[in-house]
Amino acid sequence: MKYRWVKWHDDKWLSRQGSILPWDKAEHAIVSAILAYFATLLLPLLAGCLLVLFIGSLWELKDSIMPWEKYGFWGGDGFSWKDLIADFVGILIIFIIKF
């Protein structure tokens, strides 16, 4: 199985490659915040936030093995640490608000 990694310097913070919003990193933060908000309605605060971070990590792993050229929406450009950081920021915002 071949893994693809997005190089740090090639992964732009202001990339305009989002699926829903034009800005990919903002999309990651907002979607993660929304998921964290709803997850923390069903689970304790820390458990809900960790669950969403785990889901974001799995999504990045999925991006590393499923190229978008072949799988379309379900594929990705490769594992992106910056996407994962943006996910964490969205989750952290909800954690701070609800703490």
- What is the pLDDT confidence band of residue 1, given thresholds at 50, 70 and 90? confident
Q: Is the pLDDT of residue 15 over 80?
A: no
H/E element holding 71? Answer: helix 68-71
In a domain, 21, yes or no: no
SS3 56: helix
Place of tokens 């996407």: 83
**Which range marks the domain in which residue 86 is found?**
28-98
In a domain, 76, yes or no: yes
In a domain, 20, yes or no: no
Burial (Cβ within 10 Å: 0-12, 13-18, ≥19) of residue 56: buried
Tokens at residue 29, please?
Answer: 């933060």
- What is the pLDDT confidence band of residue 29, given thresholds at 50, 70 and 90? very high
pLDDT in tens, 47-85: 999 999 999 999 999 999 999 899 988 898 899 999 999
For residues 64 and 4, is the Cβ–Cβ distance under 8 A? yes
pTM for this one?
0.88
Number of domains making up the chain: 1
In a domain, 65, yes or no: yes
In a domain, 10, yes or no: no
**If we measure between CA atoms, which residue out of 24, 52, 27, 58 comes closest to residue 38?**
52
Q: Is the pLDDT of residue 96 over 90?
A: yes
In a domain, 55, yes or no: yes
